[in-house]
A and B are shown apart, each in its own frame.
Chain A
């Protein structure tokens, strides 16, 4: 029964490394999953070359959404913002190491949606940001 709740997911959910807020920060964006009202905010700091130096998330959500946020932020440290823009749904699924049905996919991709909307400087996050392979 624990396929979905692999140790890495439970571990990142219970002991997230990137939970918190960065004030001030260079990029901040927040959004919710309309399905369940889960809310996530991501703060990012970048250096002069637009490389991510620090990142943090806050808000609330299920184990899948929180663990994916933590894994995602861990993965972008040192990346350029252009590289962050290239991240896809599959990158998040690879980080989680699981396959998800359409409903839980929304949970897993919320953090990527928020991150990319922030990096692109969009007014609102859209599903189009995380669709496709």
Chain B
């Protein structure tokens, strides 16, 4: 087993017991990751020593808080290899990042009949914003199908590109199947067909190296809380020329250059898209999270998750009546969704919880994908840098209990 397991001590919650003598096994990192002391300490220290509103303050605290807020942006930009920090916009989360693109770029540039290509494996956050815009602007939404092997049908994608889409928006890694999509190829083909691209990086940025320049992505959306950072903050990466041509999103303080009674001129990037007092402490925590992940090393994290996933697939395949939804390695990240014969996923999750094992049950905000496979819900175990083989053993043991009770 790789060395990231030594880092478990960095995560205070992992030493907690769910009941006396039943330690927590946290297998729900796809929903939200646990936070290391380094992140908690950075946010605590910010409030204890620096707290002030940023920008326009002349006093020392305001200067320092502004510097910390902007320094975090710089490190986040470096983490995804953006050409410049001004290409990184703070948002609340991935969902807000995608809505920002739909409501600004989409509303300005898309017209009736324009085609937007999505995939059948999207999270609701990359479906509903486009459905809302499509209803308003009479757009045509098309979907790259998911094949029986849980990979995207790229032949069908090539055919869809003949419709001359304006945008291809797709998830880099499915939060249900774990499928890692060939982003570079999808983007290259989209560009060749004249379309822009938006990558939903909520599940990829936390788990392996994502380089926006190497990918040539036009937009990338991701959330801090899935990568050891706090909730309430995320980011939108956009190429500078695109962001500059887009109208502002929310109106208010900080996003303006000059305001008159009846008009305003917008601020420059990235402030143009950051109206109102932002989540400053969370930005500081976000910065600490990317520092932490960089220090561990994204390649090591990816290798560790690969090992754990391989072990989990092996252990779970021994359990009778268990069906896994998702591709085989290496096309799969650290997410294992499954059903068990005759037992509802809620019941599976509940019995696992009684064993201290935290998993998620439901449609995981991907109802159309579950419809496609003719199921309502799955149980999902997901892994991160702190997951051990022993965690997987505890999962398997809990599933034995499920069979004993319902078998």
Contact surface of A with B, Cβ cutoff 8 Å: 1-2, 4-5, 10, 35-39, 60-66, 104, 107
Contact = CB atoms under 8 A, between A and B. Distances in A.
A63 B376 contact: no
A98 to B, nearest CB: 11
B376 A64 contact: no
A59 to B, nearest CB: 10
Given A1-B355, A1-B401, A10-B405, A62 B346 contact: yes
Contacts of A61: 344, 346
Contacts of A66: 344
A38 B351 contact: no
B405 A62 contact: no
A62 B345 contact: yes
Given A2-B405, A10-B406, A62-B344, A37 B354 contact: no
B351 A5 contact: yes
A38 B347 CA distance: 13
B367 interface: yes
B177 interface: no
Given A37-B363, A63-B344, A104 B350 contact: yes
Instruction: Give chain B's interface secondary structure class.
Output: helix
A13 B354 CA distance: 19
B355 A37 contact: no
Contacts, number: 54
A5 B346 contact: no
A61 B345 CA distance: 9
A61 B361 CA distance: 12
Contacts of A64: 346-347, 350
Of the listed residues B347, B377, B405, the one surrounded by the most CB atoms of chain A closer than 10 A to its CB is B347
6 contacts: A2-B405, A37-B363, A37-B376, A38-B376, A60-B344, A62-B345
B346 A36 contact: yes
Nearest to B371: A37
B370 interface: yes
Interface of B: 343-347, 350-351, 354-355, 361-363, 367, 370, 376-377, 401, 405-406
Nearest to B22: A1
Nearest to A37: B376
A121 to B, nearest CB: 28
A4 B343 CA distance: 15
A99 to B, nearest CB: 13
A4 B345 contact: no
B350 A4 contact: yes
B334 to A, nearest CB: 23
Nearest to A1: B354
A38 B354 CA distance: 22
A37 B377 CA distance: 7
B222 to A, nearest CB: 25
Given A1-B351, A36-B361, A64-B347, 8 more contacts: A1-B354, A1-B401, A5-B347, A37-B363, A38-B376, A60-B344, A62-B350, A63-B406
A32 to B, nearest CB: 9
A37 B370 contact: yes
Contacts of A60: 344, 376
A36 B380 CA distance: 13
Given A1-B355, A2-B405, A36 B350 contact: no
A4 B354 contact: yes
A81 B364 CA distance: 38
Contacts of B362: 35-37
Of all A-B residue pairs in the complex, the 10 with the closest CB atoms, nearest first, are A62-B344, A62-B346, A1-B354, A37-B376, A36-B362, A63-B347, A62-B347, A36-B377, A37-B363, A5-B405
Given A63-B344, A64-B347, A36 B401 contact: no
A4 B346 CA distance: 12
Of the listed residues A5, A36, A104, the one surrounded by the most CB atoms of chain B closer than 10 A to its CB is A36
